[in-house]
Structure 1
Amino acid sequence: MNSNKKDELINESTYKYTFYRLCEGMKHIKHDPHKQHRLLLILALALLVAILVQHTFDSNAIGDILKIAMYFLVAVIALIAVLCYILYYGTPKIAHRIHNNFSRIGLTNSAGEIPLLLREYPFYKKSTSRQVFCLDFLSCSIEKSIWEDKKTAIETALNRNIAKIEEIDGKQGIRLYTVPLEQGLSDKIVWQNTMLNTQIPICKIILGESLLEQVTVDLNITPHILIGGSTGSGKTVLLRLILMQLLKKQNVQVTIADFKGGVDFSDCWKQHPKCRMIFERSELLSYLDGLIIELNRRKALFVSKNNCNNIFDYNINPIYTHNDAEPLDRIVFAADEIAEVLDKTGLSKTEKEVVAQIESRLATIARLGRAFGIHLILATQRPDANILAGQIKNNISYRICGRADNVLSGIILDSTAAADEIPSDARGRFIDSEGVVFQAYWFDEFNIDWNAPF
């Protein structure tokens, strides 16, 4: 790109930026009486000067020419003063510093243009006590993916944490949700029983807190969850947090497959009337066969009910559940280490056939379970791409990964985001498939009282 073309592009962005600054300045002045009074003062001074000009020059040919010239000069100066005044209030105070810092980290397009800050304003969210500030930029056609790739460098340039990056004005702008460095995520956030409202009719699960808000997942929208993380990342604690909330809700049955002998789940889980533990493959296959039968039964039931598309509609609509029909339970199957369930290494031919049947049943549930209220919550720490079949993984839309290497992060998230953004010593820190980093809530499973209401 030659220098003339670069200059043309830079001038075009400058004009556009000036227009945005004028619009922002007008908004600020419109909503602030003090700024309006100062603007009126500028215009009053211009009028005063015009009156002085009127009485300064004689009423003759030369005097009239001088008056016109002075009127024109006063009008030009007044216009420039008004425009400068509007531009001043339309330009964020930190714009120049950010512009210089972006230049230092090389956040530019092919023409050498640097994103321009349009506005800075507070963002209020009830679910967090952090001070969140939005920064809106004229992106100068720098793609969102480039902002995400340079996120760490941008945080350094801003001296703030970035909670979220999104496109605005179509794809012409970028909005950064930022948080002061001292208000970053805590290393441990303790679960409070008051966080869970059992009266909520939808299956919403609370996972933890991001910089921006409380992180939740709704099983009506994302019916299956895949959790990954290396040893000590907090994966099992997060799984227990999810299952505890489900068991606290009405009309939910939970079955946990734990082929490590149940060491990660204390006796309190076995004591719950709607929680079942499975430790053997043969027992698991029998259970999954029963789930497929139940799935087909519900399918036939919904077909027999006109306009019933899913379990949510069935349970909330009284025309489906009156008299002889009871609300259907949601059924959740969880595996603390799915690799232990599906790994065929060292197995006999018969055992491999059992594993293949288990895999087939899980694939069917992953594909069809959403509408019929049958959910999978699978966890793994083993970086083996052959463990999870494509039919299972591809039908699990919500994925979470804690501390992990590039391989495991790639298996869970299809990217290295977990390896890049989760510190190597972090516990309970996760990133989901939408790129949201959060600290999962920690709770003590040994103090669970299933009979105590939240």
Structure 2
Amino acid sequence: MRTKMLRWTAGRRALVVALVVTLTVLWQWASWSGDRGLSILYAACAFVYVSGAVAGSVLLSRWTWRHRAVAVVTGMVAGHSPAGESLMASMPFVPLGRRLFHAPRLWSYWVAGNVTEYDFVMPAGMTLTLLNRWREALEQALNRKVDWRYGNLLFTLRVIKAELPAAVAFGELARLGAGQAGELVFCVGWGLLGPVWADLAALPHLLIGGVPGGGKSVFLRQLVTWLALANPPERLRLAFIDLKGGMELNLFRRLPHRLRPVLRQWRECGSLLEELNGELDRRQAAFDRAEVVSLAEWNRGYPEAGLPHVVLVIDEMAELTAVESGDKAEKAARQGQLWLLIRLCRLGRAVGLHVVCATQRPDTDAVPGQLKANLPATMAFRVRDPVNSRVLLGDGHPEAANLPPMPGRGIWQVDGQVEVQTPWLDRAEAAALLASAYPELAGAGLRLVEPDGEGPAWGSER
């Protein structure tokens, strides 16, 4: 139940005014009539009033400390907002009404367990971007995690009294993940309010970045393992590009979901990207003829000719996207591959083609603007400086540079962003889980749309 603070404050003030008026009338009446009974009544009322004032002050002090976020936010906004800076400079000369207009007002608040939400009416000129810039300072002042949202003309501050775990086991989250709704659901990690889930089919592409040792490779490993365990080859196909020499993704080289062997050199990637773009074109043509607009709608309408989701996984994307080269032929080849990758990201969602890119060098060369604009979801682990953080999370978001040096700690960003501890899954455990689920570990064909455009059929071994 939300407490309406403005109405409560107005009612409290009206009650105080009524008590003061009552005491004044009783005093005047007692003085004029000389009635001893009225004098006693006045003394009793005065005692009750003073006692209530003392008790109210104590309760107000306790409330103010418990909800000190209100005072901290008021001070920050009044002192730093565009309107508040000039206001604070001339505070003694500013009428009270104008001060209230330029200061945030608490509209309501709500407490549920470890979470407290405050709805504020902010002064003109205050934006969600400005408030998010002060989030770190606010968290230090409150010793709590905070989150800002905006809706219905109110700015909502969520204060969370909880701590992230230092480590989360993959198996623990896998047990909790049973029954999650979605097509390609996986667990991002453990947030302050519990597990954070995502559906790759809805995202539909993902960028992962962070310094070596931050958790990027482990997150990629658990993501692919999760998808492979939850989806048989008939529903999911995987393509792998590992430009770190195959050291990480060769764990999945014998999965029945694979399209090709794991590619280890950037020169080998052109044919795979062309194949996936060709599949994109064939699916678009088939969907157009069938008058459907998504893979889910196609599979519902044509279950006998169902098509799988295709996920392209790229580790160390910088080796593929860094197009600058002194050799003109190499530069042209790299630019062509980058264009094919961007096209997959731009058009792949509706036809069920998804891209997961990881890099330990999140700069503008490794993550060009056109590519970043088509990667709507980001998993940012610790980076070296705020510039790298802004490349991953966007302007005004240096938070990834301030993450603690703890493996697996990252920031998940889709529409908003949340700090999480990602699942830990070592190579031996991942290999054992996959071997248990797919004991044959044999290749299988890819169900694709035939190149002649007649319709979907079982393709040849790729």
TM-score, normalisation: structure 1: 0.72
Give 1:249 deviation, angstroms: 2.7
Note if 1:211 corresponds to 2:192: yes
- Report the CA distance shift for 1:260/1:154 in structure 2 as closer, same or farther (over 3 A): closer
Do residues 108 (structure 1) and 71 (structure 2) align?
no
Give the percent of matched residue pairs that are identical in Structure 1 and Structure 2. 24
Q: Deviations over 1:159-204 (max 9, x none)?
A: x322422235513x4322321xxx3112221112313337744222
Q: Which residue of 1 aligns with 2:455?
A: none
Letter in 2 for 1:337: E
1:19 counterpart letter in structure 2: R
Structure 1 counterpart of 2:135, from 151, 154, 163: 151
For the residue of structure 1 that corresponds to 2:305, the secondary structure is coil
The residue aligned with 1:295 is 280
The Cα shift of 1:226 comes to 0.8
Q: 1: CA distance between counterparts of 2:353 and 2:411?
A: 25
Displacement of 1:119 in angstroms is: 5.5
Is the alpha carbon distance of 1:226 and 1:440 closer, same or farther for their aligned partners in structure 2, counting shifts above 3 Å?
same
Answering whether residue 115 of structure 2 is matched by residue 122 of structure 1, we say: no
Provide the rounded CA distance (Å) in 2 between the counterparts of 1:175 and 1:387: 35
TM-superposed CA distance for 1:450, in Å, is: 1.9
Q: Quick one: which of 214, 218, 223 aligns to 1:233?
A: 214
Match of 2:225 in 1: 244
Q: For residue 196 of structure 1, what is the aligned residue in structure 2?
A: 177
Matches within 5 A, 1:20-35: 20-21=8-9
Matched ranges for 1:133-152 at <5 A = 133-139=116-122, 142-152=126-136
Residue 159 of structure 2: which of 150, 166, 177 is its match? 177
User: Could you tell me whether the CA contact under 8 Å between 2:6 and 2:108 is conserved in 1?
Assistant: no
Cα pair distance change 1:190/1:407, threshold 3 Å: same
Cα distance, 1:281 vs structure 2 = 3.1
Alpha-carbon distance, 1:345 to partner: 5.0
User: Which amino acid is the alignment partner of residue 167 of structure 2?
Assistant: K
Alignment of 1:302-313 (within 5 A): 302-306=287-291, 308-313=292-297
Matched, 1:338 2:317: yes
Report how far residue 218 of structure 1 moved: 2.1
Q: What's the CA shift for 1:370?
A: 0.3
Which residue identity lines up with residue 442 of structure 1 in the other structure? Answer: W
1:329-375 deviation digits (Å, cap 9, x = unpaired): 10000111011123345564433332222112111101100000000
- Aligned equivalents of 2:200 and 2:381: distance in 1? 21
CA contact (8 A) 2:74 2:104 kept: no
Residue 66 of structure 1: CA displacement?
A: 8.1
What CA RMSD, in Å, does the superposition of the two structures yield over aligned residues? 4.2
Equivalent-residue separation in structure 2 for 1:156 and 1:19 (angstroms): 31
Kept in 2, the 8 Å contact 1:92–1:119? The answer is no
Q: Which amino acid aligns with 2:420?
A: F
Mapped partners of 1:116, 1:186: distance in 2? 35
Q: CA deviation at 1:298?
A: 0.9
**Number of matched residues?**
388
Shift of the alpha carbon at 1:444? 1.8
CA–CA distance in structure 1, aligned partners of residues 321 and 362 of structure 2: 13
* Mapping of residues 89-108 of structure 1, within 5 Å: 93-95=62-64, 98=68, 102=72, 106-108=76-78
Gaps of 5+ in 2: 20-25, 89-98, 439-462
The structure 2 residue matched to 1:391, chosen from 359, 370, 373, is 370
Cα contact 2:204–2:354 (8 A) shared by 1: yes
Q: Mean Cα displacement is larger for which, 388-397 or 132-141?
A: 132-141
Aligned pair 1:222/2:203, yes or no? yes
- Note the alpha carbon deviations across 1:16-39, whole angstroms, 9 max, x for none: 9653435799xxxxxxxxxxxxx9
Residues 294 and 351, structure 2, Cα contact 8 Å, conserved in 1: yes
1:90-131 Cα shifts (integer Å, max 9, x gaps): 96943257279628965425145665556554336xxxxxx3
Contact 1:135 1:178 in 2 (8 A): no
Equivalent residue, structure 1, for 2:390: 410
Q: Which residue number corresponds to residue 29 of structure 1?
A: none
AA matched with 2:157: R
Rounded to whole Å, the distance in 1 between the matches of 2:367 and 2:6 is 54
Is 1:265 the counterpart of 2:249 in the alignment? Answer: yes
Q: Which of 400, 403, 406 in structure 2 is aligned with 1:422?
A: 403
Change (3 A) 1:89 1:362: farther
Deviations 1:140-172 (A, max 9, x none): 5554333322223222332x322422235513x
Partner of 1:445: 427
Gaps of 5+ in 1: 1-15, 26-38, 44-52, 125-130
Equivalent-residue separation in structure 2 for 1:222 and 1:162 (angstroms): 26
Q: Map Cα deviations across residues 223-271 of structure 1 (whole Å, 9 max, x no partner).
A: 111111112111111111211122123211111101221112354x112
Do 2:6 and 2:106's aligned partners in 1 also have CA atoms closer than 8 Å? Answer: no
- Choose which of 167, 172, 178 in structure 1 pairs with 2:150: 167
In structure 2, relative to structure 1, the CA distance for the partners of 1:95 and 1:373 (3 Å cut) is same
**Structure 1 residue aligned with 2:451:** none
C-alpha distance in 2 between matches for 1:122 and 1:238: 34
**Of residues 330, 339, 363 in structure 2, which corresponds to 1:360?**
339
1:384 CA displacement:
3.5
Tell me which amino acid in the other structure corresponds to 1:298: R
User: Which residue in the other structure is 1:380 paired with?
Assistant: 359
2:135–2:146 Cα contact (<8 Å) kept? no
1 CA distance for matches of 2:46 and 2:77? 37
Paired residue type of 1:320: Y
Normalized against structure 2, the TM-score is what?
Answer: 0.71
Contact 2:169 2:423 in 1 (8 A): yes
Say if 1:278 and 1:19 are closer, same or farther in 2 by CA, change over 3 A.
same
Q: 2: distance between equivalents of 1:198 and 1:143?
A: 38
Task: Indicate if the aligned counterparts of 2:211 and 2:360 stay in contact, CA closer than 8 A.
Answer: yes
Cα contact 2:201–2:354 (8 A) shared by 1? no
